[in-house]
Every structure is written in structure tokens, then in C-alpha cells.
Amino acid sequence: MKLHFSTANLTDLDPIMRIERAGFTPQEAASRSNMAARIIHYPDTFIVARTDQTIAGYIVGPATSQSTITDDLFVTSQPNSAAAPYIAILSLAVAPDLQHHGIGHQLLAKMTDVAREQKRIAITLTCLQRLIPFYEHAGFHNDGKAASTHAGEVWFNMTKSVAPVSGS
């Protein structure tokens, strides 16, 4: 399957929300207004994978000064800071009928490229225990149980160091 990667725009909101709602519980999923704010505030760190016909998946997260995700990041968004050393992944989701084709790993690789280009030092995220192996396979390190209580779940902090672009 041939994928094209681009940044998200507000015309993508409906298919993004369908994927968000399919991939997360109602308590975990971002609201439509929060997702729209992310599209607006994170234009360089909201990446969409597209087939010729549809949006296959997306990854989004703000640039932040915090090395771990705090629950406030799920409900408020501010424009990315060029000086922030981290990118905090808030959502990585793939359309259910397109899962298990490597799209999630490709989106993580694209975000890693963005982080390197922006001279960030690491990417951080939280995930459920069942997803730890997926993220470890993508180069993330399990930093243990997170303080997050988002959606009443038990989350784990994961980080991936971002090596600078050669010659930088």
C-alpha cells in the first residue's frame, strides 16, 4: 500500500475523528474541539498518512518542555515552541481496516524525522501496558508507570531519544 504523508488540516477533522473514536475508548478519545485545536496549534507535529482514497492514520503531539506527558496536554493546546526539547505524542491511531500493515511504525518514523529536523532531544508518550512491546519495537524505552490518570487508566511512560541529523 502506497502512503503519502502530510500535515493535517481542518478539512481532515471528520475522518480523523472516526479513527480517533475507533482507536480509543470514549474516555480516552479527544473531543472534536480538542482535536481541531491540535490541528490548528500543532501544524508541524500533526502528521496524517493517506492512501489515494482516504486517511489511513495519524500521529499528533505538541512540542513541550516536559519529559513526560501531563494530563493537561490532553485538554489544552498551545502553539508549539521552537525551544521545547520534547515532542509529546498524544494520539497515534490507524483506521481499523488498515491496521497491521506497518502504518503506525511509519507514522512514528515520520515524527522522529520531524523531531530531528526541529532539533528536539526526545519523543515522549504514554501507553497502556499491552502496547509497550509495539513502542519498544519502534525504539522507545519503557520508563515505568506514569503519573497520568487520563481516562482512569494505568499508563506507562515511554521515551525515544532523537539523534541529531548528521552534520548538524
What residue ranges do the domains of the chain occupy? 4-161
Model-level pTM? 0.94
For the domain covering 4-161, report its CATH number: 3.40.630.30
Q: What pLDDT does 1 receive?
A: 78
Contact predicate 74/85, CB 8 Å? no
Question: Quick check: 168 pLDDT over 80?
Answer: no
Alpha-carbon distance of 86 to 64, in angstroms, equals 5
b/e map 16-42, b = 16+ CB within 10 Å: bbebbeebeeeebbbeeeebbbbbebb
Q: What pLDDT does 52 receive?
A: 85
78 contact partners, CB below 8 Å, separation of at least 6: 41, 62
Question: Quick check: 22 pLDDT over 70?
Answer: yes
Q: What pLDDT does 63 receive?
A: 96
Mean pLDDT of 26-55: 95
Q: Quick one: what percent of the chain has pLDDT higher than 70?
A: 98
Q: What stretches of 11-137 show up as alpha helix (H) in DSSP? A: 13-23, 32-41, 103-117, 132-137
Mean pLDDT of 49-71: 92
Question: Quick check: 123 pLDDT over 90?
Answer: yes
